[in-house]
A and B are shown apart, each in its own frame.
Chain A
């Protein structure tokens, strides 16, 4: 399962501490890791806590001692630790957290959508969305290297679709220990809790200093995209598997494209392949790194497009533009690219989006490209009205 794969990634990354609280659909991640601890397969310490808020707190404390720290959560758990997310990023703790994206309550829903991660998108964490289990395994290992990089030093969320990826059985290739060890050496923390060299972390910063520390954080976020690209290249040499901050299909001649994140990209590509076989010029842009957002990489591939459809698996309540669409529109606007864009809210609470739905969207996109506008710029697909 995708979830279990991430536990293996944490094991292979030789983490020192895992502190977590269970929640569907991430639970298998930490349960599997707890098995590793119980079976003596890792030196790591597993710290059981009473809530996700405590989980993130103990992760922060551990991280500040210089330990390599991993945790996992979903939905309400991510929401419960919300204030601590800012503490982790503000204190520049290179924690890696697996997030099995699940809908936020209410109503209670255990299935996959992006509302949990999107609710945390401004908290200063790097957010990478993985399409499948292999990518989730690979990205978890890359995430430690990215988080701990001296030019970054920010926590990273590695996101997978709840149930769809977390509970789906797929074969994963693990990286040999020798390859992981040379790709990802032991963490060396310059600033840490050390009785020989005492330091203080998490002080008050009033109106005269807070702003400077936030600027520091944002400068690190700005550097993170380039660092991630270099790390992906290094990982490709170690594993033979290539990753980029976005991936594209059919953009060399597509007239319309769907911009999407996570597992749905697979469905979109499948439909695009069929349509392209019948001569329809459609394409797919999968955004892998959502924060920092790859503005330039996206606008660089939009050159031939006549229209864009963005699929958002979460809703920004009260605003006719989902989180992904907001970022895409912002990137296009900054690049002076003006083309018809339709934002589609789909899949909330794990509602399936079918190949038929996606085919209709592609055809709509081609039509909008010809007419110069979409009939509706914002809509919900797959919901019964």
Chain B
């Protein structure tokens, strides 16, 4: 009995878990749901004051703070909702087209 964490690999009725049961927790970590994005946040680190308001507001959460105290956006899970850009008090985050690939 299994579940597939590869969207391209589809399992058959005899391979799947019984009754669509998901047999282990935290399966969302197996899927990079950031691929739903249509716009992405891009941060200007020179303007960032490390107030951590973006970290507080991110609903995913896809924003974390590393050991050096820098604010890091996790593009594997960021859905591009734009809340961080809206809440940033110094406007150092801007939302750009996903296809631009800007970081």
Number of interface residues of B (CB under 8 A): 16
**Known contacts A198-B25, A199-B25, A200-B25: A212-B19 contact under CB 8 Å:** no
A-B contact count (CB 8 A): 55
Interface string of A58-92 (1 = CB under 8 A from B): 00000000000000000000000000000000111
Residues in B1-39 with C-beta less than 8 Å from chain A = 10-14, 16-25, 27
User: What residues on B are CB-neighbors of A91 within 8 Å?
Assistant: 19-21
Contact A200 B21 (CB under 8 A): yes
Contact B20 A208 (CB under 8 A): no
Contact B23 A199 (CB under 8 A): yes
Residues in A87-115 with C-beta less than 8 Å from chain B = 90-92
Interface string of A188-228 (1 = CB under 8 A from B): 00110000001111110100110011011101000000000
| Nearest CB in chain B: distance from A201 CB, A | 6
Contact B22 A199 (CB under 8 A): yes
| Nearest CB in chain B: distance from A5 CB, A | 31
Contact A212 B11 (CB under 8 A): yes
Q: A153 an interface residue at 8 Å Cβ cutoff?
A: yes
User: What residues on A are CB-neighbors of B19 within 8 Å?
Assistant: 90-92, 153, 191, 201, 213, 216-217
**Known contacts A208-B10, A219-B13: A213-B25 contact under CB 8 Å:** no
| Nearest CB in chain A: distance from B4 CB, A | 9
| Nearest CB in chain B: distance from A95 CB, A | 13
User: What residues on B are CB-neighbors of A203 within 8 Å?
Assistant: 20, 22
Q: Which of A90, A153, A215 contacts B20 (CB 8 A)?
A: A90
Contact A191 B20 (CB under 8 A): no
Task: Specify the main secondary structure of chain B where it touches its partner.
Answer: loop
Q: Which of B21, B25, B27 contacts A191 (CB 8 A)?
A: B21
B11: nearest residue on chain A (CB-CB)? A212
* Interface-centre pick from B14, B20, B27 (highest chain A CB count, 10 A): B20
Contact A216 B24 (CB under 8 A): no
User: What residues on B are CB-neighbors of A202 within 8 Å?
Assistant: 20
Q: Which of B16, B22, B23, B27 contacts A213 (CB 8 A)?
A: B16
Residues in A167-181 with C-beta less than 8 Å from chain B = none
Task: Specify the main secondary structure of chain A where it touches its partner.
Answer: loop
Contact B24 A199 (CB under 8 A): yes
A213: nearest residue on chain B (CB-CB)? B20
A93: nearest residue on chain B (CB-CB)? B19
Q: Which of A92, A190, A201, A212 contacts B13 (CB 8 A)?
A: A212
Contact A216 B16 (CB under 8 A): yes
| Nearest CB in chain A: distance from B19 CB, A | 4
A154: nearest residue on chain B (CB-CB)? B19
User: What residues on B are CB-neighbors of A198 within 8 Å?
Assistant: 24-25
* Interface-centre pick from A90, A91, A213 (highest chain B CB count, 10 A): A213
User: What residues on A are CB-neighbors of B18 within 8 Å?
Assistant: 92, 153, 190-191, 216
Q: How far is the CA of A90 from the CA of B19 in the complex (A)?
A: 6
Contact B13 A191 (CB under 8 A): no
User: What residues on A are CB-neighbors of B24 within 8 Å?
Assistant: 198-199
| Nearest CB in chain A: distance from B8 CB, A | 11
User: What residues on A are CB-neighbors of B17 within 8 Å?
Assistant: 191
User: What residues on A are CB-neighbors of B22 within 8 Å?
Assistant: 199-201, 203
Q: How far is the CA of A200 from the CA of B28 in the complex (A)?
A: 12
Q: How far is the CA of A217 from the CA of B12 in the complex (A)?
A: 13
Interface string of A139-154 (1 = CB under 8 A from B): 0000000000000010
A150: nearest residue on chain B (CB-CB)? B18
| Nearest CB in chain A: distance from B23 CB, A | 5
Contact B21 A212 (CB under 8 A): no
| Nearest CB in chain B: distance from A218 CB, A | 9
**Known contacts A212-B13, A219-B13: A205-B20 contact under CB 8 Å:** yes
Contact B13 A213 (CB under 8 A): yes
Q: How far is the CA of A153 from the CA of B20 in the complex (A)?
A: 13
A153: nearest residue on chain B (CB-CB)? B18
Q: Which of A201, A209, A219 contacts B21 (CB 8 A)?
A: A201
Q: How far is the CA of A191 from the CA of B13 in the complex (A)?
A: 17
| Nearest CB in chain B: distance from A21 CB, A | 25
Spell out A's residues near B (CB within 8 Å): 90-92, 153, 190-191, 198-203, 205, 208-209, 212-213, 215-217, 219
Q: Write 11 A-B pairs (CB below 8 A) sorted by A numbering.
A: A91-B19, A91-B20, A91-B21, A92-B18, A190-B18, A191-B18, A209-B10, A209-B16, A215-B13, A216-B16, A216-B19
Spell out B's residues near A (CB within 8 Å): 10-14, 16-25, 27
7 cross-chain pairs, A with B, having the tightest CB-CB distances, nearest first:
A92-B19, A215-B13, A200-B22, A198-B25, A212-B13, A216-B13, A191-B21
